[in-house]
Amino acid sequence: MSRFTPLLLVVACAGQPTLPPVDGGMLECTVTAPTSCTQAGLRYADVKPIFEAQCTTCHAGNPGGSWPLTDYQSIADWKDDVRGDLLNCSMPPYDGGVPMPTAQRQTLLEWIRCDMPQ
Ligand code: HEC
């Protein structure tokens, strides 16, 4: 270890984005968990464009990248995590660019609540 290591660590950490608190602050997470299936007509084809707009830029399954959300089965395999992250607004990440519209979040949650019709 060189004596410069602590300084480098400080510099590296300073470059990290500061995450706003999940329960308020800068982040607006007003999405609510659907208690029943009210949009039974939603199909994978309806929500696929939302996953493509909001998730697959990162979750494309590229080597070294995040695991895929590019097809039905991958989403189904991660259903509970996807739901949880949509609900607490931890995905897409705050530093990923444009915030995801609440309406899109809600639509994905409705579809999951209806058991993800294909
Ligand atoms: C800017 C890139 C980016 C975008 C966009 C993005 N993710 Fe992620 N996601 C990541 C990274 C990196 C990880 C792995 C690191 C981690 O667990 O924090 C991850 C992890 C996850 C996880 C699993 C682990 C966890 O933390 O719960 C889920 C589920 C997830 N993402 C869902 C989504 C969904 C759903 C979307 C779209 C609504 C999305 N992500 C959009 C980068 C992204």
Q: What is the pTM of this model?
A: 0.81
Task: Quote the percentage of the chain above a pLDDT of 70.
Answer: 75
Does ligand 1 come within 6 angstroms of the Cβ of 81?
yes
**What pLDDT score was predicted for residue 13?**
39
For residue 67, the CA-to-ligand 1 centroid distance in Å is 9
pLDDT in tens, 19-60: 544 444 345 688 999 999 999 999 999 999 999 999 999 999
Q: Would you kindly state where each structural domain of the chain is located, as residue ranges? A: 21-113
CB 117 within 8 A of CB 43: yes
Does ligand 1 come within 6 angstroms of the Cβ of 74?
no
